[in-house]
Amino acid sequence: MRILLLGSGGREHALAWKMKQSPLCKELYIAPGNAGTAECGINIPLPDSDIDGIKEFIRTHNIDMLVVGPEQPLVMGIYNKLREDSSINKDIIIIAPSQEGAKLEGSKNFAKEFMKRHNIPTAAYQTFTADTLKDGYAFLQSLQPPYVLKADGLAAGKGVVICNELHEAQSALTSMLVEGQFGQASNQVVIEQFLTGIELSVFVLTDGQSYVILPSAKDYKRIGEGDTGLNTGGMGAVSPVPFADARFMDKVEQRIIIPTVKGIQKENINYKGFIFFGLMNVSGDPFVIEYNVRLGDPETEVILPRMTNDLVELFVAVGNQTLHAIEINIIDESAATVMLVSGGYPADYEKGKIIYNIETVENSLIFHAGTKRNDTDNLITAGGRVLAITSLGENIVSALTLSNQNAEKIKFENKHYRKDIGKDLMS
């Protein structure tokens, strides 16, 4: 098959690495990719949201399968735009939800209403606009701190504000609704009850009828050790999640996964792709914190190395709606990934630093995120998150030890990484 993969992060390198192992994968293109994906296929200098450019590439290169990594093209409706274009081969397999399905990530209010309609456990909430600002103040007053405010639309992972004081929450609401803090994304704001617990990520792949559950993972979102400081895309991840045992996962499946997939069917939403459940374990009961309509990054970098399935075969089954016949095979070993980031990230950081010693890494997988080659073919940094170092081990401790050793060996100016990934799960 001729496959086109969209995206440029560690997630996409892991997807490219895994798809490349399939005998079904004859040609692999990545748009725009990074220096790591260039080792698995051919990078195309096309932004992942350039839908016209992507269409043109699909036509001229007879692409049979399109796999979409990040949320932006999904929320822009890439699935519908391709399906509605008569010049695009109808037989192409597209691993993506429709634009309606992508609203589960693209609109927090849509996601909350969907959960309400299908009785899926989530935090109690109300939604406000600039016209109902005063009602928003009153609703905040009725809640106990901390206060959780969420911009409705995509805000590059920064749209959630958590405040300890009522007056802070009220002024955050004003900035979002009236001062356009997150632009159009904060024209509506969801205010919800704060849930206390421990977070995890659960992923399914669905063909719109049946689904398979992928290995569970936990990511570490904050920049600083002990989960402090600013939110990032994710500084590391582990899989499996020890507390996500069979009993807990059964609750997740019965209360959350099945009603979500059935809800998608009942609402006639076309959905052939990944569903990412951001969950909170509240005293043994799972609640949905958020839906995403794609794989997580860096969760993908620990999930795919634990799966022995042929990923392209899985995607073909999604296309043909024969996923019910497929079993997911997961190895017993644990996986851990540690993300090396540019100093200053997630605020301002410098790019273009030469990356040294990557060839000295042993027994770990390196998934590239923000990397590229310069004119003299040196590997250089090209983003905030630079490299994910994934290791497998008998348990999380041994996997992490290996990743941390290799994280230390790789050098670039102002390199930063968290040395406490997975520590909270070890006690």
- CA-to-CA distance for 258 and 253, rounded, in angstroms? 6
Question: What number of H helices and E strands is found in the chain?
Answer: 13, 23
Query: Could you tell me if 325 and 314 are in contact, meaning their C-beta atoms sit under 8 angstroms apart?
Result: no
Q: By C-beta, is 216 or 292 nearer to ligand GLY?
A: 292
Nearer to ligand GLY, 301 or 310 (CB): 301
Q: Hunting for tokens 């590239």 — which residue is that?
A: 368
Out of 290, 297, 299, 310, point to the residue binding ligand AMP (CB under 6 A): 290
Shortest Å distance, C-beta 227 to ligand AMP = 9
The nearest distance, CB 302 to ligand GLY, in angstroms, is: 11
Type and span of the H or E element at 31 = strand 27-32
| Nearest residue (CB) to ligand GLY, 36 versus 70 | 70
Q: Which is nearer to ligand AMP, 173 or 410 (CB)?
A: 173
**β-pair type (218-219, 236-239):** antiparallel
Cα–Cα distance for residue pair 227/408, rounded to 1 Å: 20
Residue from 122, 186, 216, 292 touching ligand GLY (CB under 6 A): that is 292
Smaller CB distance to ligand GLY: residue 168 or 227? 227
Q: Does 279 bind ligand AMP (CB under 6 A)?
A: no
In a 13 Å sphere around the CA of 7, the CA atoms on its Cβ side amount to 24
Which residues have CB under 8 Å from 183's CB, separation 6+? none
| Alpha-carbon dihedral angle through residues 221, 16, 316, 219, given to the nearest 10 degrees | -10
Q: How far is CA 405 from the centre of its chain?
A: 26
Q: Smallest distance, Å, CB 161 to ligand AMP?
A: 9
Our CB check for ligand AMP shows the closer of 298 and 305 to be: 298
Identify which range of 56-64, 187-195, 249-257, 307-315 contacts ligand AMP by CB under 6 A: 187-195
Q: What are the φ and ψ backbone dihedral angles of 42, each rounded to 5 degrees?
A: -110, 125
In the region spanning residues 199 to 238, those forming contacts with ligand GLY, defined by CB under 6 A, are 219, 234
Give the number of other Cβ atoms within 10 Å of residue 93's Cβ: 20
Decide: is 192 part of the binding site for ligand AMP (CB under 6 A).
yes
Q: Which stretch binds ligand AMP (CB under 6 A): 43-51, 56-64, 188-196, 258-266?
A: 188-196
Question: Could you say which of ligand GLY, ligand AMP, none residue 109 binds, taking C-beta under 5 to 8 angstroms by partner kind?
Answer: none
Of the candidate residues 75, 289, 316, 358, the single one contacting ligand AMP (CB under 6 A): 289
Q: Does 148 bind ligand AMP (CB under 6 A)?
A: yes
296 binds, among ligand AMP, ligand GLY, none (CB under 5 to 8 A by kind): ligand GLY
> Distance of CA 357 to CAs 378, 410, 412, Å?
12, 5, 9
Position among 47, 278, 343, 393 found at the interface with ligand AMP (CB under 6 A) = 278
Residue 160 binding target from ligand AMP, ligand GLY, none, CB below 5 to 8 Å by type: ligand AMP
285 binds ligand AMP (CB under 6 A): no
Does 301 interact with ligand GLY (rule: CB under 6 A)? no
- Phi/psi of residue 205, nearest 5 degrees: -115, 130
Backbone angles phi, psi at 55, to 5 degrees: -60, -45
User: Among the residues of 21-117, which ranges form H helices?
Assistant: 51-60, 71-75, 78-83, 99-106, 108-117
- Binding window for ligand AMP (CB under 6 A); candidates: 48-56, 191-199, 383-391, 400-408: 191-199
Minimum distance between the CB of residue 185 and ligand AMP, rounded to whole angstroms? 12
> Does residue number 12 form part of the binding site for ligand GLY (CB under 6 A)?
no
The CB-based long-range contact list for 110-119 (8 Å cut-off, 24+ gap) reads 111/288, 111/290, 111/291, 112/190, 112/192, 114/263, 114/267, 115/288, 117/263, 118/259, 118/260, 118/262, 118/263, 118/266, 119/259
* Residue 192 vs 299, nearer CB to ligand GLY: 299
Does residue number 310 form part of the binding site for ligand GLY (CB under 6 A)? no
Check residue 346 for interaction with ligand GLY (CB under 6 A).
no
Rounded to whole angstroms, how far apart are CA atoms 29 and 31? 7
Q: Residues binding ligand GLY: what is the number (CB under 6 A)?
A: 6
d(CA 67, CA 309) in angstroms, rounded, equals 17
Q: For 77, left (φ over 0), alpha (ψ -120 to 50), or beta? A: left
Interaction partner, residue 123 (ligand GLY, ligand AMP, none; CB < 5-8 Å by kind)? ligand AMP
Binding footprint of ligand AMP on the chain (CB under 6 A): 123, 148, 160, 192, 194-195, 199, 221, 278, 289-290
Binding footprint of ligand GLY on the chain (CB under 6 A): 219, 234, 292, 296-297, 299
